[in-house]
Structures are given as structure tokens and as C-alpha cells.
A and B are shown apart, each in its own frame.
Chain A
Amino acid sequence: MTATVAPQTGPPVTGQAERARRTRRRGRIIALLFVFPALLLLGALVVYPVLFSIGRSFFDASGTRFVGGDNYTEMFSDPATLKAIRNTVIWVLVAPTLLTGLGLILAVLVEKVRWATAFKLLLFLPMAVSFLAAGIIFRLAYDEDPHKGVLNAAVVTVHNAFKGTAEYPTARARTGQDLTAEKDGSYRTAANLGPGDTVNLGLVGVAPKDLPGGARPAYPAAQRRAAAGELSGVVYLDFTPGGGGRPGVVDRKESGLPRMKVEAVRADDGKTVASTSTAADGSFRFTGLAAGSYGVELPASNFAQPYQGVSWLGPALVTPAIIGAYLWIWTGFAMVLIGAGLAALPRDALEAARMDGANEWQIFRRITVPLLAPVLTVVFVTLVINVMKVFDLVYIIAPGPVQEDATVLATQMWLVSFGGGNNQGLGSALGVLLLVLVIPAMAFNVRRFRRSQR
């Protein structure tokens, strides 16, 4: 504006200069008038709250007593805040990098496919889903129960395809009976049995509906004595439905447990010398055992717990899991922005490289990425700022017991100020910390904007 003022050449033109100055002043007043509403809004909605928060952070929970830096010392001595800082650092390091990388790869690939627009649309769709809804979707997807969580359903299905499931995962022996539990999950009798002995092994904890089809009462088989030279017995469910059964005794209504693996273990060296499976009534027999004493073992494979899948929302994986949900939402955004940058790239540089015999990877590494660098930084920095204030996903996806393991600065700030803590002094201190952390990224972005405007 000032550059347009003509150089003053001499005294005769004072009237003209006067007029110029007046126009200039009027210009300034008009400019101020135009800027004023924006300034007022910014002042009321940004500057004042920031200053107020800074001031508030020096007061206690009630807001009446000045406590100096106490809130800040309390903040840094609280393990929850430290964890929030640690998690925020993880988020800032991991999420924007992954997103920019993914966005870049997808943008480059999408350029080369035929249905590019449809593909882009598909990837961009999650942006249209609110964070709250996305959080609820992922909370369900990550659920540990394979019947609810789709991810664990997939993991468990794959796992079970390779490794079968055990017949009696819930069965166990009563304490104080013949069977003792070993460390590896198997059950074993005392090693004082020999050919000619009969042993009945009672287990409990199998619901009637979980019994294999064709299971028959064990009572008749339990009455049979072992023939000479054979070691026999029954494995049975030591529980009479409706109660009334005697522990340790094969009652009439009690069922045999079929297809249970049984092993004979030699007392001298602990070696398994024979192995068999129980019949429909739970009976088993070892024939042809050499004389000596043996123990009978029900190996752990009978009782292997079903595979439970991955505990996505456990303390260890909860932050990566939430970052995964965040990626789902934001990948499309990164891809579209980078794709726009890609479209604006000078084609001749790429053509020239191709003419010179560069392969696609070399073009990507040496031409595309360097030329795209400004766009990539803008995307990266925008995402950093965005990630710092991530709140909804963390708040919704993390279940109560692991909330502390997943907390980030923004959730911590809300929890401390409103979510039960009701200490807005401490909350303001957290807010100030967040502000301080965001400022470098902001300054960087503003500098970039200014440079690109020049």
C-alpha cells in the first residue's frame, strides 16, 4: 500500500501530499474496519481463553486460591500424566509418519489404476464417519470375545484351522481325589498301579450340553474288574445332574467321558509306555503291560484351553490399536492431498527421467518424492497438530480398566477438569502443556504459509 506513494519532489506539491496522506489514513481505517470483526472473534474465542487458561492454571480446584506452580509440579508427579505424555509422544511419532507414508504410496498407486476415482472415494469414505461412530465401530471390531470382535474372530478361525480344539477344555479333577494336577495341565494318579488293577478317574466341570454326542453312562463299565495282565478303568463325569452324587464314586446317572486320551506311565523312569482313548462309556484298558508299577495320566492335550485370540484392547496393545483406527479414518485424507500434489507435478521431469532409462522405483525415490516434499511436509505437520488433540477415539475405544494405559494429554485434560476430577486448575495446566507442545508445529505451518504466499 505504501509503495504506491509518489516520491515528493518539491514544495509546490504539499497539497497533493496532504491528500495522499488522507487517503492513506482512510485506507487504514477501512482496513481496520474490515479486520475488526475477525479480530474481535479471534480475541474472544482464542486469545482470551488461552490467557484465561494460563491464569487459571495457577489457581487451585475451586479457582479461589493462588497456588503458583503447584499444578505444574503435581502434573509432572502424577503417573497418569506421565503416561499421557508418553502416549502422546508415541502418537506424534507413529501416526503422522505412517499416514504420510501410506498416503504417498496409495496416491502413487491409485494414479496407475483404472478406477482411480472410485478407489479414492472408497478410501476417503471413512472421513465422512464421525469419530464417535468410528470409535464405537472399532471398539466392537477389537472386542476380545471372538463372538463379538471381528478381528479376533478372524484370528481364532485361522488359528483353529491349523490347531484343533481340545475335547474338554473346562474339565478338571476334584481336589482331594485320586488325580493330582501336574504343572503342565495334565492329571496323573499315584504310580502304584499294575496289570490287573482297575482305576476310575472322576472329572468335573463339564456341562451336560458340552458332553460329546454318544457319551454313555459309565456305571456298567465301572463294575467290570480288570482281567489279569491288563490295566483298565473308566474316565467319568463325577457329577450327577441335579445334585445328589457322591464325590469319587461312579453313580448311576454319571456319564463316561469318551475320546479322552489316557496314558500309562512307568513308575521307574516316568516314560509313557502305552496310550489309548476312552470308549463311549469312558472305559479304557491297557493290555500287554510288563509287570511293574504304573501311573495313569490324562495328558494336557485333553484340556487345552481354546485359543482366545489377541487381546487388542489389553494394556500393551491398546494404543497401537487406537492408532490403527485413526489410520483407517485419515488415510484417505492424506492420500487425496498428496494425490492433488502429484497431479500438479511437472510431467516433463518424469518423462525425461523415463527417457534416461530410470526405472519406476528410481523415479519415485529421486523425482516424485523430492518434488512432492512441500506437500508431504504440509500433510505431515497438519497431521501432527491433529494427532496432538486426538480425544474421541481414545476416550471411546479404551475400555475402563485400560483407560489409564491409553490416555493421551487431551483425554487426561478432560478427565482431570470435567470427567470426575473437577480440578480445572490442574486441567488448565495440562491444557497449557498441550498448547506449548502444539506451538512449534503451528509456527512451522505459519512460516510455510507465509513463504508460499511470497
Chain B
Amino acid sequence: MMRRRTTLLTGCTALVLALGATACGGSGGPVSAGGGDKALSGQTVTVAGVWSGDELKSFQKVLDAFSAKTGAKTQFVSTGDNVSTVIGSKIEGGNAPDVVMVPQVGVLQQFAKSGWLKPLSKTTQQSVDSNFAPVWKNYGSVGGTLYGLYFKAADKSTVWYSPDALDQAGVKPPTTWADLLKAGHTVSDSGLAAFSIGGEDGWTLTDWFENIYLSQAGPEKYDALAAHKLPWTDASVVKALGTLGTLFKDKQLIAGGQKEALNTDFPGSVEKVFGPKPEAAMVYEGDFVAGVAHDQFGKTIGTDATFFPFPAVDGGTAPVVSGGDAAVVLKAGKNTTAGMKLLEYLATPEAAAVWAKEGGFLSPNKNLDLSSYSDDVTREIAKSLVGGGDSVRFDMSDQAPAAFGGTKGAGEWKILQDFLADPSDPKAAAAQLETAAAKAYKG
């Protein structure tokens, strides 16, 4: 998740925000609107989520559209970064929101297992069946029951590049891993490093690995590994690490070499490609790279900065690693019926179109007309995401226990950073990953 993956500084602010949110949550202020059939007039739906800033503004538009349709008032409560803690304390305090936008599949499972969630209504289920690829239903289900509706998605299989740099080197966006390395070498001959890697943030490395693994080993093994039914010492993992190692150990391909990569955080890695002094031609990360390139470095997405899908590795299909925010209904909410109605609305292409028009949004809803997106690049990403159909997989490290897949300086993050520093022994790295995973999944 982009939000969770913050830099040091924003991480700290977010912590403060999270504390603030627990203290003064519920200050969103009710929003009402007229029109529509007003079947729910007089009722208030409380929605909690991690969104703030532009994302919140856009989502508020979706809520307003719901209000206009049904007459229900809506109230948004920001939870800060730590959704599970905030929601847990709200439920205990008898002040639970009706709907929560859950940013990680692990949190959704945790909520379902704690018995906090209401299964989705028949209507919502039907629209999920008709509007979404089954994979989204699977990620929203726990133990065969559908609890979560994926409203907003992220695509983490996009390699962003500066078209100027590739033109200068005379290469075209590659479609296979081998071509990617070859193009990288040509770019490097032209005097610019091929890739900028933000190795100081461990999650960028896990995302590299996940894309390679999903394409090379296939979705079945990916699922097994994500659930830790397959040990990390498996030959497929060693092979994927070896593939990743061919990139990591090549000084010509990485801007500043491994040491500098380990010293570059995610925004820094974007800066190396799209900043005022470019040092590299390509940077791999999710669709949110566009946001950084545009907001911080003033690039026009589509002309100064654009992407190609993460290439297929060793004859596999091109990977689509994804993530998303799922809407769930809490049993403890005061107005669950109206909350359920909100989910029914969110499941429609109509609701997705509202945010799509605002930008900064991808919908997994396959019936959403692609022309609803406000710019071409987002449309392209949405196409590759929806086109991925059932081979779309969620970010593996987001599915793992945080101790393994989401902790600075520990687990998968740390081991892949060590692997970036010294990629000579994939087998040893795999063994370390297995040790760390075994410990984390046990707990």
C-alpha cells in the first residue's frame, strides 16, 4: 500500500496523526445532499478509512453521490495509518463506524476472524459476481464467506521511465526480462544508469521479487508461498532470487551501484529518474510513482513520465501484482443496514466512475467504462489491471504477518536489503527468508 509505505518523515507525522485520530475521530462532520429517492433519509452512515487529502476529497464525492441517491447522510472518520488498532478500540469503546475501508488483505482477514464483520448482502454479492474478476472476490472472502468489496485498487507491476532517456539510448520499452536487461545495458552505454532502486525502503525490493516470482513461478506457487504453504527454500524461490540477483549485481544497471541503492528511499529513487538531475532511466514501482513524479517533480504524466508493464520473466505471462482497499461492514456499527446499502452502491460501476473522473484512482470493476478515467496513462494501467483478470495477485508481503513482510529493518525487508548488498548467494538468502517466515507465521 502506498500509504503504509511512507518515508521516514511522513511515517513520523502519520504516527502523530494516528494518535490524533484516536483522540478526536468523528470530527468529519455530516454531509448531506438532496435529491434521489431518499429511501434512507434521516440515517447517517459512518465510514472509516485511511484516506486523507486529495484521496479523501475524491472519496467524499463518491459519498455525496450516494447521499444524493439515497438521502442518507454520511460521515467520514480518518483512522490514520493503523486501521486495525483504531477500529479495535472504537469497537471496544462502543463507537464503531458502520463501514471501514480496509487497506490490507491481512487486516481484512484479522477482522473477519475476530468476528467483527457482517457478510455482504445478496445484492452486493451479485454485483461482485458480475462486475469483478473472481480473484477480487477471493481476496474479499474469508473461509468461503464474502466480507470485503474491493473498491479501489493499486497496480504494482508498472516500470516507469523517462521517454527522453530511452530515446537517447535508442531502445523501446521491453516486454521480456531478457529484453529488459538488454535495454538496460544499452541505456547504461549511453551514459545513464538503467534503473534507480529505492533499496532503503525494503518494500520496493519485496515488490521487485514478487513480480519476478509471480511471472516466473506462476500464480499457484505464488499463492502457496504467500500462505507459507510452500517453504521459501523451494527451488522456485532460489531461482527467482537468482534472477533478481542478475540485476542487483550488475553495477552498470543500478544507479550508483548497490551501495547507493541501499541509501536511496522510494521518493529518492523516483527523483533519480524524474528529478532535476536524472541519474537513471527507469524506476520500478506501482502506479503511485506517477503521483510523486507529478506532484514533486512537475512531470506531465504521459509525456515526461510514462510506464510499461512489468515484463514477463522466462516465458511466463507478464505479472500483475496488485493491492486494494476493501469496504467492509462492521457488526458493531449503529446503522449497518444503511452501511450495506453503501456497499451495494460502491459495487456499481457508477460509483467507481465518480472517483475515476477525479483521478488518482483505479477500479477493479471490469464493467467500469475505461473512458471514465481522466487521463490516458491511468486508463492504460486500469486496462492492464482489469486485463490481468484472474492472474492478478495481491502483494505477497502485504499478506504476510507484519513481522515478516512489513517491518523496517527486519524480516523480508531486511533480508532482501542484505541480498541487494551481496547478491552472490540466493540459496543462503532463501534459507534466511524461510527462517524469518517460519518464525513470523507461527506467531
Contacts and interface: CB of A to CB of B under 8 A. Distances in A.
B289 to A, nearest CB: 19
B421 interface: yes
Given A136-B9, A239-B191, A400 B443 contact: no
Interface in A235-251: 238-244
Interface stretch (A2-10, A205-213, A269-277, A360-368): A205-213
Contacts, number: 104
B12 A415 contact: no
Contacts of B169: 242-243
B191 A403 contact: no
Given A136-B9, A401-B199, A145 B190 contact: no
Interface string B255-270: 0000110110100000
A420 B189 contact: no
B250 to A, nearest CB: 12
Interface in B246-291: 252, 259-260, 262-263, 265
Given A132-B12, A243-B169, A401 B409 contact: yes
Interface string A290-303: 00000000000000
A139 B191 contact: no
Nearest to B170: A243
Interface string A308-336: 00010100000000000000000000000
Given A400-B417, A401-B200, A401-B417, A420 B411 contact: yes
A153 interface: no
Contacts of A139: 8
B200 A399 contact: yes
Interface string A372-416: 000000000000000000000000101111111001000000010
B191 A396 contact: no
B190 A241 contact: yes
Nearest to A240: B170
Contacts of A206: 191
B66 interface: no
A207 B193 CA distance: 10
B433 to A, nearest CB: 16
Contact of B252 (A61, A205, A396, A407): A205
B263 A145 contact: yes
Q: Please tell me the size bucket of the interface on A.
A: 35 or more
A170 interface: yes
B332 interface: no
Contact of A421 (B8, B12, B260, B403): B403
A208 B191 contact: yes
Contacts of B265: 399
A242 B417 contact: no
A208 B192 CA distance: 9
Contact of B168 (A210, A241, A400, A421): A241
A174 interface: yes
A144 to B, nearest CB: 5
B162 interface: no
B410 interface: yes
Contacts of A420: 402-403, 406-408, 410-411
Contacts of B8: 136, 139, 396, 399
B413 A400 contact: yes
Nearest to B169: A243
Interface string B182-201: 00001011111000000111
B171 A243 contact: yes
A110 interface: no
Given A139-B8, A399-B200, A422 B443 contact: yes
A29 B402 CA distance: 53
Nearest to B201: A400
B403 A400 contact: no
A129 to B, nearest CB: 14
Contacts of B171: 243
B409 A400 contact: yes
Interface string A197-225: 00000001111101000000000000000
B163 interface: no
B266 to A, nearest CB: 11
A239 B410 contact: no
B423 to A, nearest CB: 14
B262 A401 contact: yes
Interface in A417-431: 419-423
Name the residue in B9, B12, B190 with the highest tally of chain A Cβ atoms < 10 Å from its Cβ.
B190
Contacts of B411: 420
A204 B186 CA distance: 10
Given A145-B263, A400-B408, A400-B413, A207 B190 contact: yes
Contact of B410 (A396, A398, A421): A421
B393 interface: no
Contacts of B220: none
A125 B176 CA distance: 57
Contact of B191 (A170, A415, A423): A170
Given A208-B191, A242-B167, A422-B443, 18 more contacts: A136-B12, A139-B8, A145-B260, A145-B263, A204-B189, A205-B188, A238-B189, A311-B259, A396-B12, A399-B265, A401-B202, A401-B262, A403-B414, A404-B409, A404-B414, A420-B407, A420-B410, A421-B403
Interface of B: 8-9, 12, 167-171, 186, 188-192, 199-202, 252, 259-260, 262-263, 265, 401-403, 406-411, 413-414, 417-418, 421, 443
8 tightest Cβ-Cβ pairs between the two chains A and B: A243-B170, A420-B407, A403-B409, A207-B191, A204-B189, A401-B417, A420-B402, A400-B408
